Structure 1
Amino acid sequence: MKKLFLKNMLPFGVVVLAISGAFVTTSMQSTAKSALAQEWGYAATAQGQCDDVPINCDDTSKDEFCHVSGTSGPLAYRNESNNCIVPLYKPD
């Protein structure tokens, strides 16, 4: 009885395990990729220091820079020790 149950259920268990592994792998890859691309940008003050208001930007090189207010206004920069000198790009 045990051998018959194992013989019939083992292929079903392998298929279920394979399908669940495929879904887990796919979801892990898409999460890691989107998490790396997003970065908080900040407006630079006249002295080159960073403002306190974060803006959602992207650090992947693109054609358009990230602006404080949509498509116009001052550029958004990466905050590196309160120095805003590296511009960021518009998020997707």
Structure 2
Amino acid sequence: TSSIDEVAREVINGAWGNGNERKQRLTSAGYDYASVQNKVNELLGVKAYRKSVDELAREVIRGAWGNGSTRKQRLAQAGYDYDTVQKRVNELL
């Protein structure tokens, strides 16, 4: 088997198809689709989507990020500033 880096370059060159076909072919060949796609994104310089503070605050209010220390930990792990998000939550409530 090829390395993730090699497979990602093959994906970029179109060797593995697109969309669901690519996902199915990579998985069937024994590759972790998410790992390959992350490497493709890295090689192409794709930036991860970042949610706005307002969007995050609304998700927090809906309960999507948990409560208390769990919320704080999950937001931090996702790369967001807990205090900034919590401040916006308080403003919206």
Specify the TM-score bucket, using the shorter chain as the normaliser: under 0.3
Query: In terms of Rg, which structure is larger?
Result: 1
Task: Considering fraction of residues, name the structure with more helix.
Answer: 2
